[in-house]
Amino acid sequence: MARSAGSPPSSDREAVAALIGREPLAGFEVAVRCPFGAPAVVRNRPRDERGRPFPTRAWLTCRALAEAVSRLEAAGGVRLLESDEAMREHVLAAHRRHAALHDGHRVAGSGDPRHVKCLHAHLAFALDEGGSPVGDWIGERAVLAWPERCCLAAPERS
């Protein structure tokens, strides 16, 4: 997955707004790009534009990946991950790493490091970090794949 660093150009800001359906609330940089060059994961600053805490460091912006993770969450994926004894230490490690990098906040702002609040946030953080056991667990169960066309592309007309 392609990586990018620095402040987003206006085209990235517009792309992220289109992908998430609103203007981003915090400053960000593109951490991972899809094969088509669009932002797939953004790395948010720890405070939003008003200076309020913004606990989610990595945000999954690729619609195709987000939809796959949503299906896993709807099928009970959060409870499955929390109940997987083999993953317990990996989830704790992800929370510790996220807190160290993002102003003390755990993944998705979780209040309890033993719990998983959002699979999307865990996957985005794993992709931003270059991979992790938690990201692998989510990816295998969500059957992640890049779409055939960019999420930002206009729909094909029939």
Q: So where are the chain's domains?
A: 10-142
- For 45-61, what is each residue's pLDDT tens digit? 999 999 999 989 999 99
- For 115-149, what is each residue's pLDDT tens digit? 999 999 999 999 999 999 999 999 999 999 999 99
Angle at 86 between CA 63 and CA 137, to 5 degrees: 15
Mean pLDDT of the chain: 92
Cβ-contact 146, 34 below 8 angstroms: yes
Cβ-contact 24, 49 below 8 angstroms: no
Q: For the chain, how big is the Rg over CA atoms in Å? A: 15
As to burial, measured by CB atoms within 10 angstroms (0-12 exposed, 13-18 middle, 19+ buried), residue 124 is buried
Contacts of 49 (CB under 8 A, 6+ apart): 25, 26, 27
Among candidate residues 56, 107, 117, 116, the one with its CA nearest the CA of residue 88: 116
Task: Please tell me the distance from the alpha carbon of residue 100 to that of residue 119, in angstroms, as a whole number.
Answer: 20
CA dihedral 109, 27, 60, 118 (to 10 degrees): 10
Q: State residue 154's pLDDT score.
A: 72
Asked if residue 2 has pLDDT above 60, the reply is: no
Q: State residue 153's pLDDT score.
A: 84
Chain position carrying tokens 């270059």: 130
Task: Please tell me the distance from the alpha carbon of residue 63 to that of residue 1, in angstroms, as a whole number.
Answer: 16
Cβ-contact 46, 68 below 8 angstroms: no
Can you tell me whether residue 53 is helix, strand or coil? strand
